[in-house]
Amino acid sequence: MTSDADRLRDEIREATAAKKRGDLPEKRYLNQVAQATVDLYRATIAARLQPGEELRLEHHVVRSHLKLNQSVLKETAQEAISLFLTDRRLLRIRCFFLPDQPLTCDDRDGTIVDEVQICDIDEVRVRREIRIGEMAAGAVTAAVAMLFQSWLRITFVFLFLLGILGVLHGLLLPTRWIEVRTAAGAPAGEPAEPIRVFALGKKSGRALAKALLRLRAGAALRGRAADGPCTLASATGDDHDRDKKNLGPGLAGPASLPRDHRPARGEGG
């Protein structure tokens, strides 16, 4: 019997083959593959849920990784990151892929699935980083405009202002993300590096960040775990019904997850 995951893998492969043949337009291909990939990740996580475990939030991001020594004509590798917060764990699915490479969410595309127990979260911190690349590009644009001002009589003002705006944007609007670190005595198998939540401007990113930031007190989490099972509700001090209300409709369990969660495009790294 074919599982949902296998059916979705076949759907992604068929869409990729149709796109290469020219039978599927680019826009339709991207929408179809994005939705099928998110559904595949959901099916993968659903198979890992424990009895009684409920999925509360999910967040999907695609980040580009352009290397300086790489040709600009060559397709850049991208990183797909999907985060799923249950009432017990934070799970992450991630893999690197090329735009025309069909994702399979298994060993064939190097997919990594890791998790952090709610009780093992020791620190949740907001990180910020100035956009150095954007500032450099803006400075170069403004410098070129100034250098060739006599030849750029019509476009000089536009290019100069565009460069200055790029510098200001990179300086005043830094990249922000959430970093989730585990306790020193966390069990083996949990990620050694912190789990990062990008694209905080997206609605799902803001909701996930809000839920994680309520878990700042790692010592309190471990103290409560000693008195009973550690869940998202016990860690934040909320009961189950209040948690459902705060997270909004359609996010109380896997069966009611919306189908319009498209991957956000995160900043390149």
Give yes or no for a contact between 205 and 197, defined as CB atoms under 8 angstroms apart: yes
Return the percentage of the chain with pLDDT > 90, whole number: 39
Query: Do residues 51 and 73 make contact, with C-beta atoms less than 8 angstroms apart?
Result: no
Query: Mean pLDDT over residues 217-223, rounded?
Result: 47
Dihedral of the CA atoms 35, 36, 38, 39 (nearest 10)? 120
Query: What single-letter amino acid sits at 72?
Result: V
Confidence band, pLDDT 50/70/90 cuts, at residue 162 = very high
- pLDDT (tens digit, 9 = 90+) per residue, 174-211? 989 999 988 665 555 556 678 999 988 899 999 999 98
Report the chain's mean pLDDT, rounded to a whole number: 78
Q: Is the pLDDT of residue 221 over 90?
A: no
Split at pLDDT 50, 70, 90, the class of 120 is confident
Higher pLDDT, 220 or 19: 19
Confidence (pLDDT) at 101: 84
The pLDDT score that the predictor gives to residue 154 is 83
Token look-up 């109380």 returns 252
Question: Tokens representing 4?
Answer: 């949902």
**CA–CA gap between residue 158 and residue 149 (Å, rounded):** 11
Query: Are the C-beta atoms of 91 and 114 separated by less than 8 Å?
Result: yes
- Measured CA to CA, the distance from residue 19 to residue 24 in angstroms comes to 5
Q: Render pLDDT for 3-48 as a digit per residue (tens, 0 to 9).
A: 889 999 999 999 999 998 999 999 999 899 999 999 999 999 999 9
* Residue predicted with more confidence, 142 or 257: 142
Burial of 47 (0-12, 13-18, 19+ CB in 10 A): exposed
Per-residue pLDDT at 263:
60
Residue among 58, 56, 54, 13 at smallest CA distance from 32: 13
Q: What is the pLDDT of residues 164-178, one digit of tens each?
A: 999 999 999 898 999
CB 216 within 8 A of CB 72: no
How do the domains of the chain map onto residue ranges? 4-130+174-266, 132-170
Rounded to a whole number of angstroms, the distance between the first and last alpha carbons of the chain is: 41
Count the residues in the chain. Answer: 269
Q: Please identify which residue in the block is written with the tokens 């996930």.
A: 208
145 vs 242, higher pLDDT: 145
Residues 6+ apart with CB under 8 A from 64: 76, 77, 78, 79, 265, 268
For residue 57, list its beta bridge partners.
85
Q: Are 84 and 228 in contact (CB under 8 A)?
A: no
Q: The whole model's pTM is what?
A: 0.73
121 contacts: CB under 8 Å, gap ≥ 6:
90, 180, 181, 182, 183, 212, 215, 218, 221, 235
